[in-house]
Structures are given as C-alpha cells and as structure tokens.
Structure 1
Amino acid sequence: MSLPRSLSYLRQGTGGQILDIYLDPLCPYSAKITRSLTANVLPLIRKGGKYEGKLSVVARIYPQPFHYFAVFHTEALIVFGKLYPDLFWDYLSAIFETQSEYFNQPSSSLTPSETRDKLIHLATDLIEKKHGNAGPKSKVFGELRDKLEVKSSPNGGNEATDDFKYLLKVGRQNGIHITPTALLDGLKDDSVSSSWGKEEWEKWIS
C-alpha cells in the first residue's frame, strides 16, 4: 500500500513489493520483530543488498489503546521522521529499546509533558550520536519539542495529529487488531512471526 508523501520516511528500501508491518511502540512483540527486521531484512533490501529494488518494508505505527503512553511515542516518531527521515528507523529502534520505561505500571506517575520531554531527549541524543554537531542541543530539542505542543484549540492536536489520524484510519480500514501484523502487497500474511530469524526471513523473501 502506498504512503502519503508526509509519511514517506516510514518506508525502508525501494522495491515494488511492499511488506507492511503494523507496530505498537509499547508492544514487546513489535520490538522483537523490529530487531529481527533490522538484523535480517533491512541489509537485504537496502543499497547493495540481495533484494535491493525488489522489496520495501513500511513501518505502520499503530498504538494500541490499552498501552496508555503509546500515543506520545507515536507523536514523537511522526515529528522526528518529518525532520530527520534518514534517522527514523534508528529512532524507532531506540524507542523499542527503552519501551519498558513506559509500560503501564512504571509510567503511571509520569505526566504527558514529562513523557514528551524524555522522548525528545532520546531523539536529541540520537541526532548528536549520528550527525555530530547539528547545532546547539537545546535548539534541536526545542524544535522537536515545540511540534508536540497542542496549539490549535483546547481539545485539538499538534503537528503530528493529521498523520497520526491517517495511520489509525488505515489500520482500522484493514481490520488490524493485534501487533505486529504483516501485510504483503495489501494482504495479511499471518505466517510472519516476531520469532523469525535470518533463515526464516530469507526463505520467506525468496
């Protein structure tokens, strides 16, 4: 399934066949499959890979309502991806590595503002690590953090809201209930598992 231009950073690879993976930022199994994709699939479809130009992977961010703080993670991923599309997958991976901090019980005393601050600090640390001196860290933090502020109305959204709504609508339209869920060229493939390693992925792709 195609992507609107504003969400093009969700796509890894240039292939015509599309593997959509629906991922909840606070789902342990979404974290597991993302680690496996990073190790076993992305090297095959990126530049110089065996399947370059044949397959693309699209990360469909799809927060589940029972993972209370996944909304804030989804917003952070969207605003980060718009400004730093080349680092999107790295930020997604970093969020999965720290997800246990935001599970329902340990995050119960966090406020939305505190959560957004922590997620943007994670982003600025990544930018500094990958891009070196991209300007004053406080300035980079401010640019990202400002986009998460609700400005439109008392019950309105922020700069991530329109794309967030799109991601939710597509998931609901396709009847996505659990994460991760895989679709190949728009059709669900329930054989894809978060437990797959290199051998299983290579067999499936071939």
Structure 2
Amino acid sequence: MALPPKFAGQALRLAAPATPADSSVPATTHTLEVYLDYVCPFSAKLFSTFTSSVVPLIRENPAWASNLTIIIRQQVQPWHPSSTLVHEAGLAVLRVAPGKFWDFSARLFADQGAYFDVNVVNETRNSTYRRLAALAGEVGVNADDVYKLLAIPDKPAEDGSLNVGNGVTNDLKVVTKMNRLIGVHVTPTVVYDGVVQGDISSSWTGDQWKEWLEKNVV
C-alpha cells in the first residue's frame, strides 16, 4: 500500500534501492509492512525482536538492505480505549519530528504498560496526552509541540461543535481508512508486497526471520 508523504517517518530504509540493470526501469524495493498496536503486548514482542535482531541482519546484508523497505503501520485496537491516544501521539511525533518516529515507537513499546486500562482509567484524556508528550521528549522530540497537537480544548468550537478533535484527528482518520482497505484485524499483522503473511507471528525468533528473509528478499 502507498505511504503518504506526511507519514514518511513510518518507513525504514537501510540502504538506497539497487540500481536496475535496465536503466529505463525505475528503482523499487520489496515492502514489508508491520501492523502494530502500541498497547498490544504481542506487537511489543514482535517490535522488540524485529528491531534488536532482524534490522541488524538486514543492515549487514547489502542485498537485503537495498531491496527492502520496512513500514510500521499504526493499527488502533478500539477495545483498548487508550489505543487511540497512544497512536495519536505517534502521529504527532510524525508531524513534529518524523525522523524520531521509530525511536519514539521503541520508547512507547518499552513503556506500554503505563498506558494499559488500569493505568489510564483515573486520569483525564489530556493528562494522558501530557505523559505521552513527555515520553516523546525523552527521545529528543519537542514535548510542548507534541502536546499542542494532542490537547483537546474544553470549550466548544466557534460553530458550537463539541466534537472538536485535536491536531492529528484527520491523520488518524487517514491511517484508519488505509488499514480498513486491507481488512487488518489482528495485531501484529505482517504484509509483504501487499500480501498478508499469516505464518509470521510475534513468537518468531531472529533465526526464523533470517530463514524467511533468505527465501523472500531476492
């Protein structure tokens, strides 16, 4: 699926695309899309293995690195009420400092328990946003700028509307619409060159990923 330029920070490219033998053919890569929810423990497990074991494998193999684009797709799971809030924070980071998106995602997954139901139920929505903005600050993103995009006003809009949203509401709508197009439900879900890879799971080890890469990234 196409990646809108405003979400470019979701992509990770470890090398420039290989130059085709036929100069009239544009350079392109395989695309590995990983659909993750920041408050899903299984998503956190896959992200941890992928970033600690798989990314280094790809980086060390020039043929893989130049032929693969990796994309984190943000998948809100609505049965976790805080899922919307944490993904809004990811979208705010994409606006403020897109180059920090992967770093912020790693920090958020490491601290995901702080945003589970029991740990957000007694705080206001804006209080949760303040914590998320501060978390972004820990990876070098301007926390004030992130919070400005997230904060919900406590007064009606000029037209009297009470569902005013925040600075990333429209971005969240776009992400949700894109994900619905391919019917992603379970997190994590891995899609390779547009096809769901049902055999890949959060329990995969680095060795299993290596075997899969050897078969598929050519």
TM-score (norm 1): 0.88
Offset at residue 49 of structure 1 (A): 4.3
CA distances 1:69-117 after superposition (whole Å, capped 9, x unpaired): 0111111101112222222111101111111111112321121011000
- 8 Å CA contact retained: 2:190, 2:196: yes
Q: What is the distance in 1 between the residues matched to 2:61 and 2:101?
A: 20
Partner SS, residue 22 of structure 1 = strand
Greater alpha carbon shift after TM alignment, 149-158 vs 184-193: 149-158
Q: Counterpart of 1:55? A: 68
Residue 144 of structure 1 corresponds to 146
Match of 1:107 in 2: 120
Deviation at 1:157, TM superposition (A): 2.2
Is the contact between residue 17 and residue 55 of structure 1 (CA under 8 Å) also seen in structure 2?
Answer: yes
1:8 is aligned to 8
Identify the residue that residue 197 of structure 1 maps to in structure 2.
205
* CA–CA separation in structure 1 for the residues paired with 2:198 and 2:83: 24
Matched, 1:173 2:181: yes
Specify the SS of the correspondent of 1:147. Answer: helix
Q: Secondary structure at the match of 1:110?
A: coil
Alignment size in residue pairs: 194
Give 3-state SS (helix, strand or coil) of 1:200's partner. helix
Deviations 1:5-64 (A, max 9, x none): 000110111651111111111000000000011012222445x64321111111100110
What is the SS of the residue equivalent to 2:150? coil
5+ residue gaps, structure 2:
18-28
How do 1:1-206 residues align onto structure 2 when only pairs under 5 Å count?
A: 1-13=1-13, 16-46=29-59, 49-50=61-62, 51-127=64-140, 140-150=142-152, 153-206=161-214
Residue matched to 1:133: none
| Greater mean alpha carbon deviation, residues 19-28 or residues 79-88 | 79-88
Please tell me the residue identity of whatever aligns with 1:124: G
Helix, strand or coil at the partner of 1:126: coil
Question: 2 CA distance for matches of 1:121 and 1:106?
Answer: 16
Structure 1 spans left out of the alignment, 5+ residues: 129-139
What SS does structure 2 have at the residue aligned with 1:32? helix
Contact 2:38/2:112 (<8 A) preserved: yes
One-letter amino acid matched to 1:8: A
1:45–1:56 Cα contact (<8 Å) kept: no
Indicate the structure (1 or 2) with the bigger Cα radius of gyration.
Answer: 2
Q: Deviations over 1:139-185 (max 9, x none)?
A: x3222211113466521322212221111112111111110011111
Structure 1 residue runs of 4 or more that deviate by more than 3 Å after TM superposition: 150-153
Which TM-score applies when normalising by structure 2? 0.83
Specify the SS of the correspondent of 1:56: strand
Residues in 2 aligned to 1:141 and 1:26: alpha-carbon distance in whole angstroms: 21
